[in-house]
Structures are given as C-alpha cells and as structure tokens.
A and B are shown apart, each in its own frame.
Chain A
C-alpha cells in the first residue's frame, strides 16, 4: 500500500517523470502509480515531454573516425555475444547427452529393464518468444524424455531469475527448476522427473509469472 495520496503523487509526478526523484520517494511513487490508473496516465503524459527534453541539446560533430570506432566496437560486441551463445548451445547439447547416459546407468543399476542399452539422440526443441512476432529465442534439447538442456538468447530478456516450466503431453504443468538469465543469455541442464515425450511443452517464465518464451517437443527423427 502506497504512503502517497493522489494529490501528493501529483506534486512529485514531474520529478518522477524527469527521473530525478530520490530512491525512497521514487519507490513509493511507483507503488502508488502501479495501483492507480489515473496517476499512471498523468505520469505517462509528463514522461512524454520529459523524454523529449534531450532534443534541445545542440548537435555537435564528433571527432574524426568516430563512426568507424563505433562500428568496430559493435562488431566485436556482436561476435562476443554470438560466440558465448554458440558455446552455450554446444554445451547444452553435450550436457543433454551426458545426462542421458547417466540416467541409463542409474536405471541399469536399479535393476530395471531399459529398452535401449545406449542413450537416444537429443531431440531439438526450438524456443520462441510469445506474441505475434514469435522471435527465435534459443533451443532446448531433450534426450530420452528426461535429460533436458536449455540455452536461451534474446536481448530483451531482462537479467534475473526465471522458472523453467514443463507440461508433459496430457499431463500437469510443473516447475522443473529456476534458471538465471544474464544480459539476455541463459542456460540450464538437468533432469525432468516426468517424461517429456512428443507434444510436451517447455516454457520460461519470469519472476512476475509472465511467459517469455516456449517450445514444443517435436517427434524424434
């Protein structure tokens, strides 16, 4: 519950919109506007003007070679990000195979009969963002229906703790584990306690409970 009334919020709304409100006041103000549509609309209107203020600064030619330096740094940044993601995907696929071998051994050691003496090949699940656009957001690999390895990459995923959630075909949704995403990249490897056969879904859910990306286990080739 916010300590501010609507009248008090209106007093500090300009400073909130300009981004110059102190930490404690800002936190209280945000609590208020999250629960008050009218004040939120008022702050949004002021923010439109506040965001335009930097347009007033005079333009100035940067030093020679600026464009070239920015593009070179951008290419390096991109290569680094791509390499990190490719490495994560390769590690995820390898981890899925290793986990699968481990599962077979554990089942063997338990004296149960297994249908295959060697582990199956990982099934690739393409993860995509939700909504109209459905951007590619990484892969999950499922081996022998239990070993899972996930590698996601999408620049707009905020850094934070996410939940990896699975729904077996015809079964109930359950949380597999938590997974960290840092600067849009995240990976996780482990074992699902419930078999994920063809048609099962794998989802990534943020700390607000929003589904951010998902994929469906395809038929194994």
Chain B
C-alpha cells in the first residue's frame, strides 16, 4: 500500500476502502499534525484539528480535483484553514516566524535529510524563502502560513499597513518568480 500513489489513495478513500483510509492517514499524519501544531502551538488542540482535517478529507475525497493541486497541498489547505479558525480568537503576539520553520534565515545551507523530509516542492520553496530579506520572509510566513491579515502583520511587526502589504506582495511574487525560474531551468 505504501507504493500506491497519493491520487490512488484518495480514490480508495472516496470508495470507502479501509486499507486506503489507513494508508492515507499513516502517510500524511506527521505533516497534518505538524502543521496544526505549528499554527495552534498546542498538542491537544492540534490533535483535534488533525483528526477533523482527515475526516473532512474522507468526506470530500470524491470532490478532490487533481488539476487544482496535489493531494498533500489539498489536505494541508484543509488543515491550515481549520487551524486558523481555531486560533483566530487567541493570536500569539510576538515570535520569530522563521524560527517556527526550524531554520536559520541567514543560512541557505540545508542538510540532505531536511530536504528529503520536505519533498521536492517544499525544499524548493524553503530555499526560495531563505533567499528573501528577513522582513519579507516573516511577513509571508505570518500571512501565508499562519493566516494573519496585513493589518495584523503591521501591528505585530510595528510597521505601517502599507509597508506590511508591500512586504507580503513582494515576498509572494519573489517566491513565484524563483519557483518558475527553477522549473524552467530544469
């Protein structure tokens, strides 16, 4: 079952296949729980969110459209949205988002194990993120991963709203450019 593709697993899940459901949970549980834990910062709440994310994926597996993205990004988007809803009323106020991602922003050197764990897309994205100025990196992580609005980013970073919007916009466009350039180079 471990050699089965993600798309085949989701098809099995949609059909109610118990083996597929079991393999699906086993394959993605570390990612789903890790993301929920990163956003909510609490193991108990993260477990509830991770369970609900899998149940929603199970319920809506038949609606998964591979043209809109991979299985893992679909599942993590569900997890991210549930996590953001859960913490909307109790936002953390000060931390370094780059430290949440577990790397030193000044260094672009990554170990091979770290890249392998992230997968190809994640590794390329992290490398592109590491090349951004630190303030843009923080802005995009706060908005894109943790779901903060530009106004919240401006308050947390103590910068004008316009500056927060510019940092978010520039960071996302640079990430896009970096990923497209790498794809074309391959």
Contact = CB atoms under 8 A, between A and B. Distances in A.
Contacts of A49: 125, 172, 175-176, 179
Interface stretch (A54-62, A141-149, A161-169, A209-217): A54-62
A7 to B, nearest CB: 13
Nearest to B39: A57
Contacts of B72: 55
Contacts, number: 155
B83 to A, nearest CB: 9
A53 B145 contact: yes
Interface string A39-83: 000000110111111111111111100110111011101100100
- Interface centre among B14, B31, B119, by most chain A C-beta atoms within 10 angstroms, is B31
- How large, as a class, is the contact surface on chain A? 35 or more
A69 B51 contact: yes
A105 B175 CA distance: 71
B121 A55 contact: yes
Contacts of B125: 49, 52-53, 55-56
Contact of A20 (B39, B55, B143, B179): B143
A69 B33 CA distance: 14
B9 interface: no
B108 to A, nearest CB: 15
A165 B128 CA distance: 52
Interface residues of B, number: 65
A60 B33 contact: yes
B160 to A, nearest CB: 15
A155 B55 contact: no
Interface in B113-127: 117-119, 121-122, 125-126
A46 B125 CA distance: 13
B6 to A, nearest CB: 13
B79 A66 contact: no
A156 B60 contact: yes
Interface of B: 14, 16, 18, 21-22, 25-26, 29-31, 33-35, 37-39, 43, 47, 50-51, 54-55, 58-63, 69, 72-73, 76-77, 79-81, 100-102, 117-119, 121-122, 125-126, 129, 140-141, 143-145, 147-150, 165, 168-169, 171-173, 175-176, 179
10 contacts: A14-B171, A46-B172, A50-B144, A53-B125, A53-B144, A56-B118, A66-B50, A70-B29, A75-B18, A156-B60
